[in-house]
């Protein structure tokens, strides 16, 4: 029993170590973000709790002053960060240009949306604290003007009633309606706009709303423009006021706070003067807003570029295939583009993975009909599998991109495991095509090099041996898994697999690609058809030599076998599918990664837009 408990504890330790190995950068980044938030909050809270210039303000407001100001600083910090993870061109630049972002490190760039959501939660929490604290502040301002207020509190609230005095309490009488007074100020109006924009953006960002209406999510997210404009001028009203530096030199708070009745007469205690702090939110967000504005300028520039649609194919499985050409368009396998169809919507841009290879003279996307926009797009093209003779008669498309995604790192691993579910196979289409073309290129180069060698250039035998070795190892070893519900989904992708299978078989490179197709749903008629048309050489459904498996993969067996085949390798695992599958694969990566740095390690990568 003790041995079993020890083994379980040891296994948990190994899994924790593997998790830290896979997620160390993300964990450090999240903890750093949390640490900076805590530091800013605590430091600002202490400053407003001890600063002499805000002593009289604390007499009226108490600790809620520090709560409001500390949350405001954290709010500004997170608003500074929120736009950076969604700056696609910036992310693509870092991915391609940064020396420190190579190999497994680069995959953490693909978690930009997770960081975006984390920062959004930080904004929501700090905004809630800020609103609650200021509501308390408003009530305390009002109470300090009531008849029950006395002493120093009453003396402070009456300041500003006579000439040459500055007020500290923005609520001037006890009969003032605080709501009306608040909504008549810049801070009140902009605060309401910020709150409404934030509520709409947050609620429409839930997965439930995104699945029901992506358009609602898209349009409400553009309220960030109102949010940032309101945030930049929110502090211009300067409602929360502190004692001026000049007044502090003449008015000793430590002595004069007990002699408030003599402020008008005593020379030692002149009436204190107050002013609001200069607004600072715009200083925090100016840089990221300008950067994001540049993103939009680039998108507008790309929007103006002509896109020629060369072919449209409508597949029976509800997938629309578009072939396009654009001047100076360069891509890599696994990248995605944003598409806009002005005749459908002049504002909406939707992400789609490129399914063509860089070596082809066009770029293509496969779009599954799954929402209002995609249904409208399919209807607009009305394709029936024919090549387009008159492209000008088709609706205009605008293309922004391409942008990097997780799958672009496949060629950075010696071994890659690619797992797709349903239409999630689209990112892997470009990858498999690229492998096909690379195998052709490497074979051609190898044949040319052999010809040079046999023509007499054989002096440096070691050089040529190394050259052949490098050329044959250019392509990574790929394990490909595709899980589908319906046989009709295989239609458009089976041709690609068949051509890839045939070509690699001719070149003797079948070892470079190991693919497994799983059908998870079928009816009685399909089962009878499969049984009647069974063929030992080809699969009944796909026509491939590799047989289709019926049911779901046993991931424990699959990962165990891959780990056994490659005991000392760094293996990239790439997934495009539902959350349940993603969680299972993440767990498999932790379970079957070795605690030994020299052992096998699985690095998980999730496709996301």
Q: pLDDT tens, 268-303?
A: 788 888 988 888 899 999 999 999 999 889 888 888
Picking from 518, 514, 332, 341, the residue whose alpha carbon sits closest to that of residue 427 is 332
Residue-level pLDDT at 534 = 53
The pTM of this model reads 0.77
Is residue 244 within 8 Å of 274, Cβ to Cβ?
yes
- The pLDDT value recorded for residue 12 is 55
> pLDDT (tens digit, 9 = 90+) per residue, 334-377?
888 999 998 888 888 888 888 888 888 889 898 888 778 888 88
Residue with the bigger pLDDT between 497 and 601: it is: 601
Mean pLDDT estimate for the chain: 79
How far apart (Å, rounded) are the C-alpha atoms in residues 547 and 539?
Answer: 5
> Rounded to whole angstroms, how far apart are CA atoms 171 and 144?
9
| The predicted structure's pLDDT at residue 5 | 56
What would you report as the CA-atom Rg of the chain, rounded to the nearest whole angstrom? 32
Cβ-contact 241, 57 below 8 angstroms:
yes
* 3 state DSSP class of 30: helix
Angle, helices 224-233 vs 281-304, to 10°: value is 150
pLDDT band for 251, please (50, 70, 90 cuts).
confident
Q: What is the pLDDT of residues 189-248, one digit of tens each?
A: 999 999 999 999 999 988 888 878 878 888 899 999 999 999 999 988 888 888 999 988
Helices assigned H by DSSP within 509-565: 524-532, 555-565
330 vs 545, higher pLDDT: 330
Confidence (pLDDT) at 390: 54
Confidence of residue 457 (pLDDT cuts 50, 70, 90): very low
**Residue 412: half-sphere exposure toward Cβ, Cα within 13 Å:** 21
As a whole number, mean pLDDT of residues 535-544 equals 60
Three-state secondary-structure class, residue 246: helix
Q: What is the DSSP letter of 177?
A: -
Given a contact cutoff of 8 angstroms between Cβ atoms, the answer to whether 333 and 358 are in contact is: yes
User: pLDDT tens digits, residue range 392-434?
Assistant: 578 889 998 888 777 777 878 888 898 888 777 777 888 877 8
User: What is the spatial order of strands in the sheet that 336-340 belongs to?
Assistant: 350-353, 336-340, 398-403
The per-residue pLDDT for 193 is 95
Q: What is the pLDDT of residue 443?
A: 54
Predicted pLDDT at 75: 96
Contacts of 585 (CB under 8 A, 6+ apart): 419, 555, 573, 575, 604
- What is the separation, in whole angstroms, between the first and last Cα of the chain? 48
Q: Is the pLDDT of residue 471 over 50?
A: no
DSSP 8-state class, residue 130? H
Residue 305 in tokens: 């570029």
The tally of CA atoms less than 13 A away on the side-chain side of residue 429 is 25
- Who contacts 122 (Cβ-Cβ below 8 Å, separation ≥6)? 33, 37, 74, 78
C-alpha pair distances (Å), 521 with each of 317, 488, 489, 492:
15, 11, 12, 18
């Amino acid at each position: 029993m003790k041995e079993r408990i020890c083994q379980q504890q040891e296994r948990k330790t190994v899994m924790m170590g593997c998790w830290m190995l896979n997620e160390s950068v993300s964990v450090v980044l999240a903890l750093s973000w949390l640490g900076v938030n805590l530091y800013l909050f605590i430091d600002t809270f202490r400053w407003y709790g001890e600063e002499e210039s805000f002593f009289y303000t604390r007499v009226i407001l108490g600790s809620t002053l520090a709560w409001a100001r500390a949350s405001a600083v954290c709010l500004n910090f997170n608003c500074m960060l929120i736009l950076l993870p969604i700056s696609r061109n910036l992310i693509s630049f870092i991915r391609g240009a940064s020396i420190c972002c190579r190999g497994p490190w680069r995959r953490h760039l693909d978690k930009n949306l997770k960081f975006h959501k984390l920062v959004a939660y930080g904004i929501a929490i700090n905004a809630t604290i800020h609103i609650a604290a200021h509501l308390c502040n408003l009530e305390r301002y009002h109470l300090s003007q009531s008849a029950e207020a006395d002493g120093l509190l009453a003396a402070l609230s009456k300041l500003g009633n006579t000439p040459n005095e500055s007020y500290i309490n923005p609520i001037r009488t006890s009969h003032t309606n605080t709501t009306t007074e608040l909504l008549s100020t810049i801070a009140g109006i902009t605060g309401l706009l910020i709150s409404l924009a934030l509520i709409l953006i947050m609620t429409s960002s839930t997965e439930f709303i995104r699945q029901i209406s992506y358009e609602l999510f898209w349009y409400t997210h553009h309220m960030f423009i109102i949010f940032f404009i309101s945030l930049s001028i929110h502090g211009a009203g300067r409602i929360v006021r502190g004692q001026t530096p000049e007044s502090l030199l003449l008015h000793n708070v430590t002595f004069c706070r007990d002699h408030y009745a003599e402020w008008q007469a005593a020379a030692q205690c002149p009436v204190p003067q107050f002013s609001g702090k200069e607004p600072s939110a715009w200083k925090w967000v100016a840089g990221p807003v300008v950067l994001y504005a540049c993103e939009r300028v680039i998108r507008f520039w790309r929007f103006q570029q002509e896109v020629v649609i060369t072919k449209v194919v409508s597949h029976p499985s509800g997938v629309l295939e578009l072939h396009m050409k654009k001047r100076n368009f360069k891509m890599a396998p696994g990248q995605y583009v944003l598409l806009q169809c002005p005749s459908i919507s002049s504002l909406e841009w939707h992400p789609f993975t490129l399914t063509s290879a860089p070596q082809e003279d066009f770029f293509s996307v496969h779009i599954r009909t799954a929402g209002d926009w995609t249904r409208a797009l399919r209807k607009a093209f009305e394709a029936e599998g024919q090549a387009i003779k008159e492209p000008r008669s088709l609706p205009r498309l605008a293309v922004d991109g391409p942008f990097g995604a997780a799958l672009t790192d496949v060629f950075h691993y010696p071994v890659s495991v690619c797992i797709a579910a349903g239409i999630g196979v689209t990112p892997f289409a470009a990858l498999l095509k690229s492998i096909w073309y690379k195998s052709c290129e490497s074979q051609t180069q190898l044949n040319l090099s052999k010809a040079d060698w046999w023509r007499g250039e054989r002096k440096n035998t070691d050089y040529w041996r190394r050259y052949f070795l490098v050329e044959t190892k250019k392509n990574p070893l790929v394990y490909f898994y595709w899980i589908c519900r319906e046989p009709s989904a295989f239609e458009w992708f089976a041709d690609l697999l068949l051509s890839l299978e045939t070509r690699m078989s001719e070149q003797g490179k079948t070892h470079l690609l190991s693919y497994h197709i799983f059908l998870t749903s079928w009816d009685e008629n399909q089962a009878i058809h499969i049984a009647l048309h069974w063929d030992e050489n080809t699969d009944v459904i796909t026509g491939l030599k590799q047989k289709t498996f019926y049911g779901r993969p046993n991931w424990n067996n699959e990962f165990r076998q891959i780990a056994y085949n490659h005991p000392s390798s760094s293996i990239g695992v790439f997934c495009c599918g539902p959350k349940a599958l993603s969680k299972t694969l993440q767990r498999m990566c932790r379970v079957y990664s070795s605690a030994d740095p020299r052992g096998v390690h699985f690095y998980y990568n999730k496709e996301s837009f």
